[in-house]
Structure 1
Amino acid sequence: MHIAVIADFAEASGGAQSVAIQSALALAAEGLRVTYIHGIEGPADPRLASAGIAVVSLGQADIWDRSALGGLGAGLWNRPAAARLAAVLDGLPPGRTVLHLHQWTRSLSPAAFPVLLRSGHPLVLTLHDYFVACPNGVYYRFERDEPCSLRPLSAACVAAPCDPRSVAHKGVRVLRAVLTRAALHGHRLDVVHVSDRARDTVAPFLPSHVRQHRIDNPVEVEQDVPAEIGAASKLAFIGRLTREKGADLVASAARRAGMPAMFVGEGPAADAIRAANPAAEMLGWRSRAELDRLMREEVRAVVAPSRWYETGPLTVYEALAAGVPAIASDRTGAAEKVVSGETGLVVEPQLEALSSAFRRLADTALVRRMGRAAHERYWQAPLSPERHAAALIRLYAGLLADRPRLPAF
């Protein structure tokens, strides 16, 4: 069996990229032949080559690094990327290759789908977001700071000024969504949901005959003793600093509750965080090793108060694995792994609810009990790369066996 993992990036600069890379590594560790194809020219995670994975770049620029006109064209239909992808796929062994797409909006564009779907190889698409249906990808009304309730590409959806950038960007993204839908029409497709929340959010917008699968993301954490949570440790937000992820909520709620907070990451909400909580510690991005150290030595709880129906995030799982309680929004997919009151807290992404949760965390004995329970429960059924790879291999084997009988999209 040969697996081609396809994404925009080949370095772990975000959740979807991290999953694509870890998935490729886990499959290679199980003895499968793996090729990693990335659209954007740039550095590749050195672990890929070390694992014997062939890494192929399509030599494209990120659409956000192009001129406005160039980004518009490449974002809507990147013909050069599609042509280069087709040439790579032509060299893959027929009859035993499965294509697994993780990302496509930053370089590959909807033009990749006809190439992938007509290649003769089964295609799996992991839905790390909702771009397959929703124009802005997160099914969120940015102008209202609330989840969307409209049917994607309905008249009301097209008219809604919901884009985080501008009405003009919304128009472009609507066109991209139309092109995506057209590119997928008439073709069979298998999709992987990474959480129940993600599945329940997007499933109503997929044709009934699309084959849907539920596989957890892999979590790259070595088993160790639970973290020893100290009285002076901080509440931590880890990830891109944006309003839809609730980074600003953490800043305001921590200040109201009188609790220290740290932010690991960068993003457009950084200034709002500093204004809301001047005492907050802003660390920027940190290496994996440094993040592991922070988790075990300085973090009291990891907070993920997403306002949107986030499919993950990985940081909640990583916290539980380390024996650190997680405070998760009831809108995020990761909340399904948190036992509220036992391994952390599940709350509404609202200021008072979050402040109240933070006040409870002033009790160090309670936090330590939660951390130990989180560690124990997580390692009873860890989201390990090995378990992830086993689930994927079962899926791939079924697709290769049943390919002639798959229904059309």
Structure 2
Amino acid sequence: MKVLHIHELDIGGGAETVFNITRKNYLVEKNYSGFINKNNYDHSDIRFKSYENYNFILRPFFYVFSINNYIQLNKFLKINNVDIIHLHGFIGSLSSSILLALRFHKKRNTIKIVQTFHDFHIACPNSLLFDYKKEIICEKCLGKKIKLKMLTTSCERRGYFYTILKSVRSFVANNLLNHKKIIDKFIAPSNLMKQKLIEDKIEEEKISLLRNPILLNEIKYEKKSDIITYYGRISKEKNIYFILDAFNEWKIKSNNNFKLFIIGDGDEKNSIEKYAINLKFNKDIVFYNFKEEKELFDILKEVKYLFMASKLYENAPMTLLESISLNILPIVPDLGGMKETVQDVFQFGKIYEKNNIESFIEQIEEMETEYLSELEKLIKRKSFLFENYGVEVYYKNLFNIYSDLLNKN
């Protein structure tokens, strides 16, 4: 069995972590990888290019359809015989040209195509079921055959020009190229994602629930300090202003010794740092730039709690899964994949009412009171989680999905 794995990038956030794990599945005979190579230490088998590589005039066209990426994927598939093509994220930087190349090759041979969804781009032209203008969850396009509602709302974070581009891109992918018919099996990492795909008129039998793998990091138990953290992308939808306000208010009410670590980069970083300076307990708020895994985990090993506050659903946050190895207890809002992971998968940690500071304070105070028992729950549950959601199990389940598809020929 030969598998070609396609994703936009090989470095970044949770989607890139899952992509990198997936393309190293040793159970298959041969793994090929296609991504935009921005690093010298890794190798892409296909010379993909981002729309950002082109000048200002050409960039919008390649955002919707990249001729280069169509040609390069076609070229690779003519030379190399593959059995499975496993897509991850492609619509953003690689464009819908990927779908046209795949449709062409499906007509000529027996390849099967799988896609793991890390966002909702097939159901939502804006990818996240989120209106950036109103800063609310938005499902106006969900279930619609032609998804042009965003043209009336300008929900894209960069304004109306990109709203138009994403609407056109969605129409090309969904209506002209028929994205849903090209894919033989959709992989949903959460029940939330599975349900949204079903609501978008994808047949349930074409969807497999396969949760993202939990990594076992060989880090010994460390004595914890009074530290709470958020790490990841620093952007509006992650609701970091709420994290700062909630932390500051908790400090005022309980006069505790906790510090807050904000780790990551993003377009809101400077604004958030300026905002934090004006808070009463600004000296207890520490900002770090993006860190590679080893350096990141070295900072996180003393952290007690992971604090998430996203305004959008999230799918299956890798930050939650990574925190398990480090014995970090989660505190998350009652929303989407964050709630599902803590409530259904972990069965430890705390869930607060979204955007409610009093609810957050109540939950974190309970966590502090019950810290040793919650930590014991985590440690006892950890072996079960690795046995059922570890990388080895993930590889076996994925291999079974591939095999089932090929056996249908």
TM-score (norm 1): 0.87
Secondary structure at the aligned position of 1:338 is classed as helix
Query: Conserved in 2, the CA contact under 8 Å of 1:117 and 1:123?
Result: no
After superposition, residues 246-325 of structure 1 pair within 5 angstroms as 246-258=239-251, 259-278=258-277, 279=282, 280-297=285-302, 299-325=303-329
Query: Conserved in 1, the CA contact under 8 Å of 2:367 and 2:374?
Result: no
Query: Conserved in 2, the CA contact under 8 Å of 1:252 and 1:276?
Result: no
Query: Conserved in 1, the CA contact under 8 Å of 2:214 and 2:385?
Result: no
Please, what is the CA RMSD of the aligned residues? 2.4
Does residue 181 of structure 2 align to residue 176 of structure 1? no
Q: CA deviation at 1:252?
A: 1.6
**Equivalent in the alignment of 1:407:** none
Give the letter for the 2:241 counterpart. Answer: D
After superposition, residues 18-33 of structure 1 pair within 5 angstroms as 18-25=17-24, 27-28=25-26, 30=27, 32-33=29-30
Structure 1's 209 and 114: CA in aligned 2 closer, same or farther, altered over 3 A?
A: farther
Secondary structure at the aligned position of 2:399 is classed as helix
Secondary structure at the aligned position of 1:93 is classed as coil
Q: CA deviation at 1:342?
A: 6.4
Q: CA deviation at 1:110?
A: 0.5
- Post-superposition CA distance 1:177-227 (Å, at most 9, x none): 001102125545321111112222332113337711111112323255544
Give the letter for the 2:39 counterpart. Answer: P
Does residue 405 of structure 2 align to residue 399 of structure 1? yes
Does residue 39 of structure 2 align to residue 43 of structure 1? yes
Give the letter for the 1:245 counterpart. Answer: K
Structure 1's 238 and 269: CA in aligned 2 closer, same or farther, altered over 3 A?
A: same
TM-score (norm 2): 0.87
**Equivalent in the alignment of 2:63:** 75
Give the letter for the 2:233 counterpart. Answer: R
Query: Conserved in 1, the CA contact under 8 Å of 2:348 and 2:374?
Result: yes
Structure 1's 362 and 328: CA in aligned 2 closer, same or farther, altered over 3 A?
A: closer
Identity in percent: 16
Alignment partners' CA distance in 2, 1:228 and 1:369:
16
Alignment partners' CA distance in 2, 1:375 and 1:251:
29
After superposition, residues 1-400 of structure 1 pair within 5 angstroms as 1-10=1-10, 12-25=11-24, 27-28=25-26, 30=27, 32-38=29-35, 40-43=36-39, 46=42, 55-60=44-49, 62-93=50-81, 97-119=83-105, 120=109, 121-152=111-142, 153-154=146-147, 156-181=149-174, 182-184=176-178, 186-208=181-203, 211-222=206-217, 225-230=220-225, 233-258=226-251, 259-278=258-277, 279=282, 280-297=285-302, 299-339=303-343, 343-353=348-358, 355-357=360-362, 359-360=364-365, 363=368, 366-382=370-386, 383-400=389-406
- Post-superposition CA distance 1:77-130 (Å, at most 9, x none): 101111111111122325xx1000112134321011021233231011111001
- Post-superposition CA distance 1:145-204 (Å, at most 9, x none): 111131344554431221111011101100000011021255453211111122223321
Secondary structure at the aligned position of 2:262 is classed as strand
Query: Conserved in 2, the CA contact under 8 Å of 1:328 and 1:345?
Result: yes
Structure 1's 317 and 325: CA in aligned 2 closer, same or farther, altered over 3 A?
A: same
Alignment partners' CA distance in 2, 1:354 and 1:63:
43
Secondary structure at the aligned position of 2:208 is classed as strand
- Post-superposition CA distance 1:214-241 (Å, at most 9, x none): 11112323255544323xx321111001
Alignment partners' CA distance in 2, 1:277 and 1:362:
25
Give the letter for the 1:183 counterpart. Answer: L
Q: Which structure 1 residue ranges, 5 or more long, are not aligned? A: 50-54, 405-409
Alignment partners' CA distance in 1, 2:183 and 2:360:
47
Alignment partners' CA distance in 2, 1:177 and 1:381:
37
Query: Conserved in 2, the CA contact under 8 Å of 1:250 and 1:354?
Result: no
Query: Conserved in 1, the CA contact under 8 Å of 2:305 and 2:329?
Result: yes
Please say which of residues 307-316 and 152-161 is displaced more in the overlay: 152-161
Query: Conserved in 2, the CA contact under 8 Å of 1:63 and 1:107?
Result: yes
Structure 1's 342 and 110: CA in aligned 2 closer, same or farther, altered over 3 A?
A: closer
